[in-house]
Amino acid sequence: MGVMIALVLAVCGVTGSPTVTFRPETASTDVPADPNIVPQMAKNTEQEQLLVIEVPEEDVMETGELNPNQYPAQRAAKVVQHYLNTRHGSPFKLFGLQRVHGGNAEDVADSGRKYQLEITVHEIISNAAQKCSVEVLFPRGEKQRSADVQASCEELLKINTTAQEQALYEQFKTNKSLVSAQYLPDSHGHIEPQNKPLWHLGIVASSFVMLKESSENSLYNMAQVVNITQQATEDDHLKFDCHTLLHELVSQEIVPWKLLFTWSPAEGVKVVQMEQLPHCHECEKPPNSD
Amino acid sequence: ASQERSKSSHIVALFNKKIKDNRTLYVHLNSGEKKNKCEYLDFWRDVSNVDTPVDIRVPAHSLQSVKLYLETYEIGYSVMIEDLQAMLDEEQQEMDSAARSAEFFNTDSFDFSNYHTIDEIYSFQDQLVAENPNLVSKIVIGQSYQGRDLNVLKFSTGGSNRPAIWIDTGIHSREWVTQASGTWFAKKIVTDYGRDPALTAILNQMDIFLEIVTNPDGFVYTHTSNRMWRKTRKPNPGSSCVGVDPNRNWDAGFGGAGASGSPCSETYRGPSAHSESEVKSIVDFVKSHGNLKAFISIHAYSQMLLYPYGYSYTPAKDQAELHTLAEKAITDLKSLYGTSYTYGSIIDTIYQASGSTVDWTYNQGIKYSYTFELRDTGRYGFVLPANQIIPTAQETWLALMAIMTHTNNNPY
């Protein structure tokens, strides 16, 4: 197999590494018109441009049995983490990819490439871990479609965080003022205990973006919640506005996103609006003091 | 400064120009009948002569009466400090902060479990040399774009141009756990020499070079302006974007896929190979030394141990040996805290990268060329909590020892 793969790869040439270009920001078509969101002025300079991580079309990923040490399986597995967080994440429940054991990938005609993986997922707060069989289908053709994930990690989903979530929800609801926090974690990786649920909410909301943006040629992690601010709402659920930084490993870019989302124990996290912010070349963000 | 909390107090300077009778002030302040008033006043600058003002600290509760008194007698005054307590509090805060951060008297009291500024790390380096003059020296291999010294610590027990091991940390400035680990490694070496047989054996035959802040301009920038800064800080002509990725600037596959040609990109390769002084200085050092046998460049995050190549799928000539050694190294690493690493060639394990450090060093003939990606795997990423610095450094050290021991035992 080793020799065959080498030949195949030689013929295909170098693998698709993402190229990064910068295009002038235009009104995002994803974002519905909302009087509360003032769109950034589109400037045709280098200063304010949206990062476009262009994924080459070449089909150069491994098919067949996957080496868990190598990136194809790792990238597909990370998508599962984002998927689980969008579905089941909460201020007290967060999933992380712990380990990739093995798997295989195959092309599915007219669909894309399907990965079947054995992975270990852990729930970070309780530190419980479970081995799960998962499937990730990266679609072909339709650029905007995000990966399809099938994952059941039943044991982990049984972890009961209802009481804590309800208590937090009550706390927010009875609080006279709206909460907000900045730089979670701070430069030193520190988060005040009372801000941890906010950080977790930021991660869960960001997971919707990371799931949507992930491909075989990218790997997303949360870099930092720049700020998260509770919004007033008449509804039962709580509402938050947050500005987060995502780290895309392959291009090494820090991608800023703005998210408006809701949370309640009953409904979980739902993203109302997501908007990629202009790439900030010289971000003079005030750092946290040492 | 007074340790007791006092209610806000004023310092009032008394100008005697306005009083009609030059001696009135003197008399009034010292006269018997006024003495009671004086007991509550704290003279910071005492009465000396009629031409010099006096300074008094007035407790808040007396302020009204003192002001009234002065105004009644037409003694001019001005308030110099509105709220003395606030000033004292601020000063105390500054002192506490200074005590926490900078001042260590020797490398034994350096706080390895916290992140430090460049000044603190550079002081640490000088202090380490001063404490261990027979083992450690500092070499300045060049200057950064903004003129900062590029410091390399040389650990040597003698000889002349012995075969050597190079370790660098912080080439990407936002990867703070690496510079922090580098300082820990420096201390570890001086502590273990003469105590740990394995390290002693290595240093009796080989030298170790350690560059802790490999990208000082970027590092300062992560402290002052942007915690997520990766590249150098050299401006790019014709662009508003600053910096070159120092791990895409080496002359190995330079210009090929796996780096960007855009100055605004985090993986911008630069206008030409070795265009960055931070890179060129190491290139010059490696070439003039001529006897490096291992070259280890340390990054974060992802928990990986990588060997060449990044720019090409062609397996390195020594792939089998490098792979086996990597496996040993990460097994040793894992033995301490259970931290799992993946390992393999750069291009297979993480992504294609051209112009990377260890591809160049490997092509120079330095067989044991490795790149580390330290903790974690994305939960905190670059902003790894400070309480993970020492565990990270400790486990990484075991992997480094595996590589250095093998290098020492397998001369070539």
Structure tokens at B76: 């001019």
CA distance A27 to chain B (A): 22
> Is B373 designated active site?
yes
Among A151-165, B69-83, B91-105, B332-346, where is mean pLDDT lowest? B91-105
Which pLDDT belongs to residue B87?
Answer: 75
Among A55-64, A165-174, B58-67, B115-124, where is mean pLDDT lowest? A55-64
- Residue A142: CB atoms within 10 A of its CB come to 8
- Residue B132: CB atoms within 10 A of its CB come to 19
More confident residue, B204 or A8: B204
Among B223, B258, B266, the residue with its CB nearest the CB of A287 is B223
Asked if residues B128 and B134 have their Cβ atoms less than 8 Å apart, the reply is: no
Which strands sit side by side in the sheet containing A64-66, from one edge to the other? A64-66, A95-108, A112-123, A128-139, A148-151
Among B266, B350, B386, the residue with its CB nearest the CB of A251 is B266
Q: Which of residues 212-231 of B touch A (CB under 8 A)?
A: 222-228, 230
Q: Euclidean distance between the first and final Cα of chain A, in Å?
A: 53
- 3-state helix, strand, coil split of chain A in percent (to 5) is 25, 40, 40
Q: Residue B23: is its pLDDT beyond 90?
A: no
Tell me which of B266, B312, B341 to substitute to probe the interface with A (most A C-beta atoms closer than 10 Å).
B266
Tell me which of A62, A119, A187, A283 to substitute to probe the interface with B (most B C-beta atoms closer than 10 Å).
A187
Q: Does B364 touch chain A (CB under 8 A)?
A: no
Identify the CA nearest to A256 among candidates A195, A206, A187: A206
What band does B105 get if pLDDT is binned at 50, 70 and 90? confident
Which pLDDT belongs to residue B94?
Answer: 65
Q: Which chain B residues have a beta carbon less than 8 Å from that of A284?
A: 225-226
Our CA angle for A101, A218, A206, nearest 5°, is 95
Asked if residues B299 and B175 have their Cβ atoms less than 8 Å apart, the reply is: yes
Q: Which chain A residues have a beta carbon less than 8 Å from that of B227?
A: 187, 224, 285, 287-288
What chain B residue is nearest to A11 in terms of C-alpha separation? B313
Which pLDDT belongs to residue B233?
Answer: 98
Spatial distance between the Cα atoms of B28 and B13, rounded to a whole number of angstroms: 16
Q: Residue B381: is its pLDDT beyond 80?
A: yes
Contacts with A12 (C-beta within 8 Å, 6 or more apart), sequence order = A58, A59, A60
Asked if residues B234 and B276 have their Cβ atoms less than 8 Å apart, the reply is: yes
Q: Residue B131: is its pLDDT beyond 90?
A: yes
Q: Residue B344: is its pLDDT beyond 90?
A: yes
What band does B56 get if pLDDT is binned at 50, 70 and 90? confident
What band does B18 get if pLDDT is binned at 50, 70 and 90? very low
Largest interatomic CA distance in chain B: 100
What band does B53 get if pLDDT is binned at 50, 70 and 90? confident
Identify the CA nearest to A157 among candidates A215, A207, A87, A234: A87
CA distance B376 to chain A (A): 11
More confident residue, B154 or A27: B154
Q: Does B340 touch chain A (CB under 8 A)?
A: yes
Spatial distance between the Cα atoms of B1 and A267, rounded to a whole number of angstroms: 57
How much is the average pLDDT of B388-394?
98
Domains within chain B, CATH numbers bracketed:
14-82 (no CATH), 105-409 (3.40.630.10)
Q: Which chain B residues have a beta carbon less than 8 Å from that of A43?
A: none
What band does B17 get if pLDDT is binned at 50, 70 and 90? very low
What would the 3-class secondary structure string for chain B be? Answer: CCCCCCCCEEEEEEEHHHCCCHHHHHHHHHCHHHHHHHHCCEEEECCCCCCCCEEEEEEHHHHHHHHHHHHHCCCEEEEEECCHHHHHHHHHHHHHHHHHCCCCCCHHHCCCCCCCCHHHHHHHHHHHHHHCCCCEEEEEEEECCCCCEEEEEEECCCCCCCCEEEEEECCCCCCHHHHHHHHHHHHHHHHHCCCCHHHHHHHHHCEEEEECCCCHHHHHHHHHCCCCCCCCCCECCCCCCECCCCCCCCCCCCCCCCCECCCCCCCECCCCCCCCHHHHHHHHHHHHHCCEEEEEEEEECCCEEEECCCCCCCCCCCHHHHHHHHHHHHHHHHHHHCCCCEEEEHHHHCCCCCCCHHHHHHHCCCCEEEEEEECCCCCCCCCCCHHHHHHHHHHHHHHHHHHHHHHHHCCC
Average pLDDT, chain B: 88
Which pLDDT belongs to residue B330?
Answer: 98
Residue B362's region, left for phi above 0, alpha for psi from -120 to 50, else beta, is: alpha
Among A54-68, B169-183, B209-223, B303-317, where is mean pLDDT lowest? A54-68
Q: Residue B396: is its pLDDT beyond 90?
A: yes
Q: Residue B389: is its pLDDT beyond 60?
A: yes
How much is the average pLDDT of B393-406?
98
Among B241, B260, B388, the residue with its CB nearest the CB of A281 is B241
Whole-number Cα distances in Å, B255 to A198, B239, B270: 43, 19, 9
Among A14, A188, A190, the residue with its CB nearest the CB of B352 is A14
Which pLDDT belongs to residue B349?
Answer: 98
Asked if residues A160 and A143 have their Cβ atoms less than 8 Å apart, the reply is: no
Q: Tens of pLDDT along B232-288?
A: 999 999 999 999 999 999 999 999 999 999 999 999 999 999 999 999 999 999 999
Contact B258 A250 (CB under 8 A): no
Which runs of consecutive H residues, i.e. helices, occur in chain A? 2-12, 71-88, 154-157, 162-174, 196-213
Q: Which chain A residues have a beta carbon less than 8 Å from that of B114?
A: 188
Residues of chain A where predicted confidence (pLDDT) is lower than 50: 1-17, 25-47, 56-59, 286-290
Which of B120, B276, B278, B373 is the catalytic position?
A: B373
Contact A287 B225 (CB under 8 A): yes
Residue A144 DSSP SS3? coil
Q: Which chain B residues have a beta carbon less than 8 Å from that of A67?
A: 344, 348
Spatial distance between the Cα atoms of A188 and A215, rounded to a whole number of angstroms: 30
Spatial distance between the Cα atoms of B225 and B339, rounded to a whole number of angstroms: 32
What band does B66 get if pLDDT is binned at 50, 70 and 90? confident
B19 alpha carbon, distance to own chain's centre: 58
Using CB atoms within 10 Å of the CB of residue A30, give its burial: 0 to 12 exposed, 13 to 18 middle, 19+ buried: exposed
Spatial distance between the Cα atoms of A65 and B319, rounded to a whole number of angstroms: 21
Domains within chain A, CATH numbers bracketed:
3-276 (3.10.450.10)
Q: Which chain B residues have a beta carbon less than 8 Å from that of A245?
A: 228
Tell me which of A17, A48, A218, A288 to substitute to probe the interface with B (most B C-beta atoms closer than 10 Å).
A17
Among A139-143, A210-214, B32-36, B38-42, where is mean pLDDT lowest? B32-36
